[in-house]
Amino acid sequence: MRLYWEVLRRGFRRYSTYRAATLAGLFTNTVFGFLKAYILLAVYEQRDVVGGFDATDAVTFSFVTQGFFVMLGAGHLELADRIQSGDVVTDLYRPVDLQAWWLAQDLGRIAFQVALRGCVPFLVGSLVFDLDITSDPALIAAFALSALLGIVVSFGHRFLVTLTTFWLLDYRGTSQVATVVTMFFSGMILPIGFFPDWLEALARALPYAAMLQLPVEVLLGKHTGSDLLALLGVQVLWAVLLLAGGRVLLSAASRKLVIQGG
Amino acid sequence: MTAVIELDRVSKDFVVMRKKGRLRRERMTVAAVDDISLRIDTGELVGYIGPNGAGKSTTIKMLTGILVPSSGTVRVVGLDPQRRRVELASRIGVVFGQRTQLWWDLPLIDSFDLLRHVYRVPADRHRANLRRFVDLLELEPFLHSPVRQLSLGQRMRGDLCAALLHDPAILYLDEPTIGLDVVSKARVREFLAQVNRDEGVTILLTTHDLSDVERLCSRLVVIDHGHVIHDGTVAEIKTMFGDTRTVVVDLEEAGPSLVVPGAEVVEVDGPRQWLRFRRSEVTAAEVIAAVVGQARVRDLSIEEPDIEDVVTRIYTSG
Ligand SMILES: Nc1ncnc2c1ncn2[C@@H]1O[C@H](COP(=O)(O)OP(=O)(O)OP(=O)(O)O)[C@@H](O)[C@H]1O
Ligand SMILES: [Mg+2]
pLDDT of residue A52: 87
Cα B74 from Cα B92, distance rounded (Å): 15
Strand partners of residue B7? B38, B74
A-B CB pairs within 8 A amount to 71
Q: What average pLDDT does this structure show over B15-42?
A: 87
pLDDT mean across residues, chain B = 90
Q: Are B192 and B97 in contact (CB under 8 A)?
A: no
**From the list B67, B85, B89, which residue is nearest A259 (CB)?**
B67
Chain B residues close to A261, C-beta within 8 Å: 98
End-to-end, the C-alpha distance of chain B in Å comes to 31
Measure the CA–CA gap between A70 and A151, rounded to whole angstroms: 9
| Residue A66 · residue A131 · CB < 8 Å | no
Instruction: Give B279→chain A minimum CA distance, Å.
Output: 39
The alpha-carbon gap from B64 to the nearest alpha carbon of chain A, in Å, equals 6
DSSP code string of A83-133: HHHSTTHHHHTSSS-HHHHHHHHHHHHHHHHHHHHSSHHHHHHHHHS----
Distance spanning both ends of chain A, measured CA to CA: 33
* Per-residue pLDDT at A110 exceeds 80: yes
Quickly count: other Cβ atoms within 10 Å of residue A109's Cβ. Answer: 23
Chain A residues closer than 8 Å to B66 by CB: 89, 92-93, 257, 259
CB A203, CB A190: distance < 8 Å: no
Cβ distance B301 to B200 under 8 Å? no
Q: Which DSSP symbol is given to B146?
A: B
pLDDT tens by residue, B87-145? 899 999 999 988 999 998 899 999 999 999 999 999 999 999 999 999 999 999 999 99
Pair A235, A153: CB distance under 8 Å: yes
Of the segments A8-22, A221-235, B22-36, which one has the largest average pLDDT value? A221-235
Q: Which of A95, A256, A259 sits opposite B61 (nearest CB)?
A: A259
Rounded distance from Cα B13 to ligand 1 centre (Å): 10
Question: What digits encode the pLDDT tens for the residues B168-182?
Answer: 999 999 999 988 888
Question: What's the pLDDT score for residue A116?
Answer: 83
pLDDT at B1: 63
Q: Are B32 and B185 in contact (CB under 8 A)?
A: no
Enter the DSSP assignment of B31. Answer: E
Residues by chain with Cβ below 5 Å of ion ligand 2:
A 262; B 57
Cα–ligand 2 centroid distance for B57 (angstroms): 4
B215: part of which helix (H) or strand (E)? helix B210-216
* Alpha-carbon span A194 to B160, nearest angstrom: 57
- φ, ψ of residue A24 to 5 degrees: the values are -60, -45
The answer to whether the pTM exceeds 0.80 is yes
Residues in chain B closer than 8 A to A7 (CB atoms): 114
Query: Does the interface predicted TM-score (ipTM) exceed 0.85?
Result: no
Q: What is the CB < 6 Å shell around ligand 1?
A: A 258-260, 262; B 14, 16, 30, 32, 50, 52-58
Q: Does residue A204 register a pLDDT over 80? A: yes
Q: Give the integer Cα–Cα distance in Å for A108 and A85.
A: 24
pLDDT band, residue A73 (cuts 50/70/90):
confident
CA–CA distance, A3 with B168 (Å, rounded to integer): 19
Interval A158-178: pLDDT, tens: 999 999 998 888 888 899 999
- Cα B12 to chain centroid distance, Å, stands at 21
Between helices A55-68 and A98-117, what is the axis angle to 10°? 130
* Closest to A8 in 3D by CA, of A92, A79, A107, A129: A107
Give kind and range of the element (H or E) at residue B269: strand B263-269
Task: Tell me which chain A residues have a C-beta less than 8 angstroms from the C-beta of B204.
Answer: none
Q: Express each pLDDT in A7-45 by its tens digit.
A: 999 988 888 877 888 888 889 989 999 999 999 999 898
Helix, strand, coil: what percent of chain B each, to 5? 35, 35, 30
- In angstroms, the CA B234 to CA B230 distance is 10
CA dihedral sign of residues A104, B98, B212, B309: positive
Spatial separation of the C-alpha atoms in residues B118 and B5, rounded to whole Å: 24
- pLDDT above 90 covers a percentage of chain B that reads 60
For residues B262 and B283, the answer to whether their CB atoms sit within 8 Å is no
Smallest CA–CA distance from A92 into chain B, residue: B66
A257 in reach of chain B (CB within 8 A): yes
pLDDT digits over B289-317, tens only? 999 988 899 999 988 777 777 777 777 77
Q: Is the pLDDT of residue B163 over 90?
A: yes
Mean pLDDT (chain A) is 90
Q: Does A46 touch chain B (CB under 8 A)?
A: no
B277: pLDDT strictly greater than 80: yes
Domains of chain B, each with CATH number or no CATH = 3-239 (3.40.50.300), 243-317 (3.30.70)
- Tell me how far the alpha carbon of residue B56 lies from the centroid of ligand 1, in angstroms: 8
List alpha helices for A164-224, DSSP H.
165-168, 172-185, 197-205, 208-211, 213-219
Residues of B with CB under 8 A from a CB of A: 14, 53, 57, 61, 64-68, 85-87, 89-90, 92, 94, 96, 98-101, 103, 105-106, 110, 113-114, 117-120, 146
Please write the tens of the pLDDT for every residue from B220-247: 999 999 999 889 988 888 777 777 888 9
Task: Tell me which residue in A93, A255, A257 faces B89 most closely, judged by beta carbons.
Answer: A93
